[in-house]
């Protein structure tokens, strides 16, 4: 047997590193995408990693999508760029925005429902702590995920900024008798008894300090101080 025939025989026996029937370019792109796991990767970065031409990358991506080996996902940090991920992974919170987002869009309906539940609870209790509101929402089971104390805090902070409720500190007297003195709690922004309890200063409740997206906020980014309605409201507070 000649050397060329032996070489051909060995090549046929070499195991493939991905699904059968893929072209070399498709295999390289699939490996690049899989390597990013739940973070996914932009099309531009795929081109840089694989050193393939735009035409080859675009054609291979279409083929991989048709074969259902990859999927296109929405990246809330930059919705204008195409983001790809292997089908066996689900987008991380950095990409999807977490439970508050659906297909890259803020789930306003869910947030409004949770706000109404918070208001109803505060109407009955008159005053409540973050822990109390959190326990009430968990008991209602209105969401399919395990809602965290931090997420409830985000809801309450947005309600404070919208002037739906006020954030105060317990005095340990009257409505606050069951709450330790100095504990941060919440009550309606208007109505009987709303003024009881020292209200926190504006700087103590600056939205940036409680914002879960602060790490993604940049002057020229999708999330920025110039487009933040809560930051704008805070700037207009009469100190």
Does 83 share its domain with 130? no
- Mean pLDDT, the chain, integer: 77
Does 65 share its domain with 23? yes
pLDDT at position 62 is: 92
Does 81 share its domain with 113? no
Does 39 share its domain with 66? yes
pLDDT at position 94 is: 74
pLDDT at position 195 is: 43
76 inside domain: yes
pLDDT confidence tier of residue 16, bands split at 50, 70 and 90: very low
By three-state DSSP, how is residue 126 classified?
Answer: coil
Q: Where are the alpha helices (DSSP H) in 51-181?
A: 54-66, 93-96, 108-125, 130-140, 149-161
Does 71 share its domain with 139? no
Does 91 share its domain with 7? yes
87 inside domain: yes
Does 160 share its domain with 230? no
211 inside domain: yes
pLDDT at position 9 is: 40
Q: Looking at 65, 97, 129, which one is the last position of a domain?
A: 97
First to last CA, the chain: 91
22 inside domain: yes
Residues in CB range of 197: below 8 A, 6 or more apart: 127, 168, 169, 170, 171, 175, 176, 185, 187
CA distance 214 to 227: 13
Percentage of residues in the chain having pLDDT higher than 90: 25
Q: Can you give the pTM of this predicted structure?
A: 0.51
194 inside domain: no
Q: Which stretch of 85-99, 114-128, 167-181, 209-223 has the lowest confidence by average pLDDT?
A: 209-223
By three-state DSSP, how is residue 107 classified?
Answer: coil
Structural domain range at position 178: 107-187
102 inside domain: no
Does 85 share its domain with 121? no
209 CB burial (10 A radius; 0-12, 13-18, 19+):
exposed
34 inside domain: yes
Which runs of E-coded beta strand occur in the chain? 41-42, 70-73, 83-86, 101-102, 105-106, 128-129, 165-169, 184-188
pLDDT above 60: residue 200:
no
Q: Looking at 97, 122, 144, which one is the last position of a domain?
A: 97
Helix axis angle for 43-50 and 24-35, nearest 10°, is 120
pLDDT above 80: residue 218:
no
The tens digit of pLDDT for each residue in 131-146 reads: 999 998 888 777 777 7
CA distance 106 to 77: 13
pLDDT at position 8 is: 43
Does 15 share its domain with 70? yes
- State the CATH number of the domain containing residue 79: 1.10.10.10
Which is it for strands 184-188 and 70-73: parallel, antiparallel or unpaired?
unpaired
pLDDT confidence tier of residue 71, bands split at 50, 70 and 90: very high
Does 17 share its domain with 78? yes
Domains: count for the chain = 3
pLDDT at position 22 is: 73
pLDDT at position 14 is: 44
Q: Which stretch of 116-125, 181-190, 195-204 has the lowest confidence by average pLDDT?
A: 195-204
Greatest Cα-to-Cα distance within the chain, rounded to the nearest angstrom:
98
Does 92 share its domain with 112? no
198 inside domain: no
Does 90 share its domain with 10? yes
């Amino acid at each position: 047997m000649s050397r060329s025939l032996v070489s051909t025989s060995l090549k046929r026996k070499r195991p493939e590193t991905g699904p059968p029937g893929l072209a070399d370019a498709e295999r390289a792109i699939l490996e690049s995408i899989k390597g990013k796991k739940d973070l996914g990767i932009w099309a531009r970065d795929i081109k840089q990693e694989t050193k393939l031409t735009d035409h080859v990358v675009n054609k291979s991506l279409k083929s991989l999508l048709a074969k259902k080996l990859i999927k296109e996902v929405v990246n809330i940090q930059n919705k204008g760029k195409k983001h790809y991920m292997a089908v066996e992974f689900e987008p991380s919170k950095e990409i999807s925005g977490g439970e508050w987002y659906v297909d890259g869009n803020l789930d306003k309906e869910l947030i409004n429902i949770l706000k109404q539940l918070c208001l109803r609870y505060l109407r009955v209790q008159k005053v409540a702590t973050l822990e109390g509101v959190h326990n009430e929402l968990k008991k209602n089971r209105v969401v399919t995920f395990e809602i965290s104390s931090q997420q409830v805090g985000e809801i309450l902070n947005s309600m404070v900024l919208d002037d739906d409720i006020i954030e105060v500190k317990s005095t340990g007297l009257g409505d606050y008798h069951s709450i330790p003195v100095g504990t941060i709690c919440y009550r309606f922004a208007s109505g009987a008894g709303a003024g009881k309890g020292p209200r926190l200063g504006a700087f103590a409740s600056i939205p940036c300090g409680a914002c879960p997206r602060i790490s993604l906020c940049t002057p020229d980014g999708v999330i920025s101080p110039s487009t933040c309605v809560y930051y704008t409201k805070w700037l207009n507070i009469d100190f």
